[in-house]
Amino acid sequence: MNTDSVHLMPSAEHEVPLDLFRNQPALAPELLQAASGIKPPEYDRISLGSESLTDCNPTEYRCDSTVLLGDPKRPDLAIVVEVQLKPDPRKHYSWPVYLATLRARRKCPVTLLVLCPDRRTSAWCREPIESGHEGWVLRPWVLNLTEVPAVTDLDKARSLPELAILSTVAHADGPDRKAILTAFAEALEVTDRDRGELYHDYVRSQLSAAARHCLEEIMQAGVYEWKSDFALKHIAEGRAEGEAKGRVEGEIELLLIVLETRGFTIDDDLRERITTCQDHEQLHTWARRATAGEPLDRIFT
């Protein structure tokens, strides 16, 4: 992953991280502690609150998500979670409203956690928001994805798979690549099929080619006895893709050998055309013509 930013389709870039919080509210206090260095209060229960923060007012205020620590009727702490993709001056007015409204509604301490895709946006989000009243300043707790804690411990990945998802997006190209991708694979084992598909597609879309290759090797290495239908499905698909790729590579090599044996000069353009072809039937047709003694211009017509 690019160490400065993460690139997704706009809807996925905003919604998939929010789905992680919705599916696993415990992700919020975990990241809040990472952002602030302050340990949240101990809790026996954790739940999602309403995103709507309109309170007898014609203007609708709707945050991305809220997480309540403790009894939902009497929370010990309420966390407003926002995914912010780019600087937006309007947030300097709406964020204080979110906190004030939630505090009045839940009658508990409140705090703001903002997740950003890049350093530029996170720097903007960290700017103090002055209310105009002396001493009344909002300083959001902010993380960009590269600041998410790296998860290499398998127990941690199983207990908080959504954190392992964000960790993989952020750190899969770092020095702990194999351990991080192994933790990601372990996290998929404890998620249901629908979430597993979502998480896999989200992470895979963010991985570099080298990281994707490493993940495929991990899932096909046989180190684990994968049990989930999701994991078994993708292992089977990966093996089938690998076998198909191997057949194509073999046909390319055979075609080049036949052409060289017949004394043809293969220029760079023709070589590229052959080596980039992934169509099994096309390669087979070329090879059949080459072995039948056709001239070079007829082989590739």
The verdict on residue 232 lying in a domain is no
- 27 and 78 share a domain? yes
User: Average of pLDDT values for 63-90?
Assistant: 94
DSSP 245-282: HHHHHHHHHHHHHHHHHTT----HHHHHHHHT---HHH
| Token output for 156 | 């941690």
3-state SS assignment for residue 127: coil
- Relative to beta strand 46-49, strand 141-144 is unpaired
- 16 and 129 share a domain? yes
- 79 and 53 share a domain? yes
3-state SS assignment for residue 83: strand
Angstrom distances, CA of residue 124 to CA of 83, 89, 91, 174, 232:
13, 9, 11, 26, 43
The larger pLDDT score, comparing residue 157 to residue 285, is at: 157
**What is d(CA 151, CA 176) in angstroms, rounded to the nearest whole number?**
9
Burial of 160 (0-12, 13-18, 19+ CB in 10 A): buried
The tens digit of pLDDT for each residue in 137-186 reads 999 999 998 899 999 999 999 999 999 999 999 999 999 999 999 999 89
- 262 and 170 share a domain? no
The domain boundary residue, chosen from 112, 128, 147: 147
Domain count, the chain: 3
The verdict on residue 233 lying in a domain is no
**What is d(CA 126, CA 260) in angstroms, rounded to the nearest whole number?**
63
| Token output for 230 | 């999701």
Domain that holds residue 171: 149-227
- 245 and 158 share a domain? no
- 191 and 133 share a domain? no
CB 117 within 8 A of CB 145: yes
pLDDT for residue 109 is more than 90: yes
The domain boundary residue, chosen from 170, 194, 227: 227
| Token output for 16 | 């998939």
